[in-house]
A and B are shown apart, each in its own frame.
Chain A
Amino acid sequence: MRPTWHCLAAATAAAIGFGTVSAFAQAWEPTRPVQFIVPAGTGGGADTMARAIQGIIAKNNLMKQSVQVVNKSGGAGAEGFLDVKTSPGDPHKIIITLSNLFTTPLGTGVPFNWKDLTPVAMLALDEFVLWVPSDAPFKTAGEYLAAVKTGGNNKFKMGGTGSKQEDQIITVAVEKAAGAKLTYVPFGGGGEVATQLVGKHIDSTVNNPIEAVAHWRSGALKPLCVFDGARLPVTEKMTATMSWNDIPTCKESGLDVQYLMLRGIFTTPGATAAQVAFYVELLRKVREAPEWQQLMKDGAFNPKFMTGADFTAWLTTEDARHRDLMREAGFLAN
């Protein structure tokens, strides 16, 4: 009886659309609601993305069980990561990451590492753009850099989200390039940072595209450069004259700094290959939804998708890079 049952299960799984799962691996699907942990507060970039995924799954019936988004933001997200780390063998738990996957354990000393979790997939990479008020005297990143240099230490104020995280890491890299210190002012969230720049309480920010795009289009802010190796792909005009694609890379303008933030999905330690395969397939379908593609375009995300060994290799490199960056900046907790 047993083999027949196996065949039946595999056939059913294939029929409902988990076709790519190898016939040899035992197909798996969630048997109860899946907890989707967000290691950040409600309303931020990771939270918005998680809820969008939850909505896409529900709207298109991509999974029989429902998804519940749970925010565990304590200790710069450590609470969420520790929750997943301490639930081995519970595949009904996934987590979305931001750069705090690397920075929080380094900066706070809370004991976890990405290797404690099971990587599922890279969903996208979030871009960073150097923004200044539109009436600021500099037209290019090069001119900005020169102004920071001649202004001297702590003359320019850079606003960003949180402390010892992505925004401050980029700030330290900019300081290094300019040869002068900036005053880094940490705020609670990206929207707040953008507004503080519009109100000119700070001089520049490294907001993600989606956090500042509305102020760019209204003419209050202007982008100087994007911290990526290549220009952004979206060529649709956002203002009368410019598209995301028209923003030069920072390297082009003489500021050799690159930084991208991971939007990836992980699950609990000890998850089986079949369980990971289920989530990979699920996310693949999420990415095909028109709502997801719209979100990618609106936020000018880098929609790179990566799984398996590629993803693990990428994570290993990034982890090492963050350790170097954090050490150079003096952000390591121990």
Chain B
Amino acid sequence: MHEIAALMGGFATVLEPTNLLLMVIGIVLGVIIGVLPGLGGANGVAILIPLTFAMSPTSAIILLSCIYWGALFGGAITSILFNIPGEPWSVATTFDGYPMAQQGRAAQALTAAFTSSFVGALFAVILITFLAPFIARFALQFGPAEMFAVMFLAFCSFVGLGRGSPFKTITSMMLGFWLAAIGLDGMTGQLRLTFGSTELLRGIDFLVVVIGLFGIGEILITIEEGLAFKGNHAKIGLRVVLDTWRELSQHWALYLRSAVIGCWMGISPAGATPASFMSYGIAKRMAKDPKSFGKGRIEGVIAPETAAHAAGTAALLPMITLGIPGSPTAAVLLGGLLIWGLQPGPLMFVEQPDFVWGLIASMYLGNIVGLIIVLAAVPWFAAILRIPFSIIAPVILVLCAIGAYTVHNAPFDIWYVMIFGIIGYVFKKLDYPMAPMVLAIVLGDRAEASFRRSMLISQGDLSIFWSNTLVASITTVALLLLFWPAISLAWERIQPRLRYRTA
């Protein structure tokens, strides 16, 4: 139980008044950063890193990691209220969170999102506290083949779920892959689909697409449907929080499953965004009535939020123990560690125990402080929906434009957002699903890169995806999920016969 003693030492560091103050400042800043679409945790932390130069490394990491927690919490707010994902990992939260808000259940959805984030993080932190060395070894087993298998699994757990025409789903997904292919091909160093244009060099960022498709698209729809929010009769008051908690406690199995998915994806390190999609997809499959997902099920908020926050937290572990970042924000923090003169790596736990355990203790406390702050603010967030549309819509448009600009500091991205807003509107009108396109953009280039690395290593031999137990089991589960509709159909045909025989 050496860990407990070390952790207590960490708490002692964190509970110093200055550090506690930094923690609150960090969370509030983080929530704001999370709310602004485009200005992600990574950008926010990067901007603030030079300011922390004069602090002690422990205080600095407390401030910066709390910004990260805050951003994880904050990403859900605009997803639920306005269908604009503040962060990539909150895209899946919009699927059910926004319908809930439209039904006047914004406060419930927000409470569910925040609580789930907290539970996911807590689960991951406990795992980090007691199993860090073991987990670090697990992460090392992920080579290109394993990475591709994970991406493939994320895909397979999500496709085949859509209602409606398979043709439309495939079209949407292919459009996503096409967009993901624009820019530099990391494998050969060649430019693809840029047609000599400077603006296409950086590719089309996922966030830019999402802000347009969801945010602007939704505003266009609302304008058409009568210039009013549907969710303005939302119940607001802190009682809602307690009532929602009662409902949430029934979903403990879902919490556990989502947290496990999240931790795994954070450590491997695939990151929070695939984790949220995978968790949502699996929750939908496991549900008794999958068709009701996407229409305002609270499970559809719990699953992605729990997994995203668990992954986001767990992503810090490979950063500390291996020096590889599990998320873009972790990558920036990693640079920060080097500036502060710390050497991330396997020896960190031995050489810098104060720092490491201070960080872990701040994960516990930061998330508790964060939960209290955001839950207390739920009524205010929900009350935003009561502001007349004619006032809030221009504000959202401006936020979307600022968000698009901050992703790459590129003014041209604002045009992309407008174009994708119109595409989003057309998609809605023609009933094309947007989720497959978003998923293809998020995972497309990473899946492609890890597939091509695997092929380089195996010299073109596909059996590399079955070359060891780990990769073989992930690939097999992925294929099972992909052909699930066919399998379940076959099962339904066989089952009555079996019953007949046993009778």
- Contact status of A298 and B341, CB under 8 A, knowing A55-B53, A58-B53, A195-B324: yes
Taking a contact as CB atoms under 8 Å apart, the answer to whether A42 and B347 are in contact is no
Asked if A74 and B183 make an inter-chain contact with CB atoms under 8 angstroms apart, the answer reads yes
B190: which A residues are within 8 A, CB to CB? 107-108, 333
B408 within 8 A of A: yes
Q: Which residues of B contact A73 (CB under 8 A)?
A: 202
Which residue in B46, B202, B203, B324 is a CB contact (below 8 Å) of A69? B46
- Chain B nearest CB from A37 CB (Å) reads 9
A48 and B143: CB pair below 8 A?
A: no
> Of the 9-residue stretches A186-194, A245-253, A271-279, A313-321, which lies at the interface with chain B?
A186-194
Which residues from chain A contact B42 at a C-beta distance below 8 Å?
42
Q: Is B427 an interface residue (CB 8 A)?
A: no
A110 within 8 A of B: yes
Chain A residues contacting B202 (CB-CB under 8 Å) are 72-75, 79
B449 (CB) vs chain A CBs: closest residue: A188
Cα separation A178 to B184 with both chains bound (whole Å): 31
Set of chain A residues within 8 Å of B191, measured between Cβ atoms: 75, 108-110
Give the interface SS of chain A, mostly helix, strand, loop or mixed.
Answer: mixed
Given contact pairs A59-B53, A217-B345, A164 touches B140 in the complex (Cβ within 8 A): no
- Residues in B whose Cβ lies below 8 Å from that of A188: 186, 449
With A72-B202, A191-B334, A201-B457: A55-B188 Cβ-Cβ less than 8 Å = no
Given contacts A70-B409, A162-B189, A195-B322, contact A79 B331 (CB under 8 A): no
Q: Is B332 an interface residue (CB 8 A)?
A: yes
Return B124 CB to nearest CB of chain A, in Å: 20
A-side contacts of B344, CB under 8 Å: 214
Looking at the complex, which one of A56, A109, A187, A191 makes contact with B53 (CB distance below 8 Å)?
A56
Q: Kindly state the interface size class of chain A when it binds its partner.
A: 35 or more
Hey, which chain B residues are within 8 Å of A109, CB to CB? 191
- Cβ-based interface call for A294 (8 A): yes
A298 to B343, CA, bound (A): 9
Chain B contacts for A298, CB-based, 8 A: 338, 341, 343
The interface bits of chain B over 315-349 (1 if a CB of A lies within 8 angstroms of the residue's CB, else 0) are 00010001111001001101110110101111110
Asked whether, in the complex, the Cβ of A198 is within 8 Å of the Cβ of B322, the reply is yes
Q: For B201, list chain A residues within 8 Å (CB).
A: 74-75, 78-79, 82, 110
B323 A214 Cβ-Cβ under 8 A? yes
**Contact (Cβ within 8 A) A107 B189:** yes
Nearest residue (CB) in B for A109 is B191
Set B189, B328, B338, B457: member contacting A157, Cβ < 8 A? B457
CA distance A79 to B202 in the complex (A): 7
Interface contact A51-B331, CB-CB below 8 Å: no
On whether the beta carbons of A295 and B339 are closer than 8 Å, the reply is yes
CA distance A69 to B335 in the complex (A): 13
Identity of the chain B residue whose Cβ is nearest the Cβ of A294 in the assembled complex = B341
Contact A198 B140 (CB under 8 A): yes
Q: Does B453 contact A (CB under 8 A)?
A: yes
Do A76 and B184 have beta carbons less than 8 Å apart?
yes
B502 interface hit (Cβ, 8 Å): no
Q: Is A52 engaged at the interface, CB distance under 8 Å to the other chain?
A: yes
Q: Which chain A residues lie closer than 8 Å to B51 at the CB level?
A: 58
* CB contact under 8 A between A185 and B341, given known A43-B328, A51-B46, A55-B49: no
A218 at the interface (CB under 8 A from B): yes
Return chain B residues, CB-CB under 8 Å to A259. none
- CA gap between A186 and B188 in the complex, in Å: 8
- Interface pair A213/B328, CB less than 8 Å apart: no
Bound-state CA distance A217–B352 (Å) is 14
Measured between beta carbons, the chain B residues less than 8 angstroms from A107 are 189-190
Do A186 and B186 contact each other (CB < 8 Å), given the known contacts A42-B335, A218-B345?
yes
Residue A127, interface by CB 8 Å: no
Is A267 part of the binding interface, using a Cβ–Cβ cutoff of 8 Å? no
Given contacts A163-B186, A214-B344, A214-B347, contact A51 B335 (CB under 8 A): yes
A291 contacts partner chain B, Cβ-Cβ < 8 Å: yes
- Residues of B in contact with A (beta carbons under 8 Å apart): 42-43, 46, 49-51, 53-54, 139-144, 183-191, 194, 198, 201-203, 318, 322-325, 328, 331-332, 334-336, 338-339, 341, 343-348, 408-409, 449, 453, 456-457, 459
The 5 A-B pairs of least Cβ separation, nearest first, read: A214-B345, A74-B202, A43-B331, A201-B143, A75-B201
Given A42-B42, A195-B323, A198-B140, 16 more A-B residue pairs with CB atoms under 8 Å apart are A43-B334, A51-B49, A51-B339, A58-B51, A108-B184, A157-B456, A162-B186, A189-B331, A191-B324, A191-B325, A195-B322, A199-B140, A214-B323, A214-B346, A214-B347, A298-B343
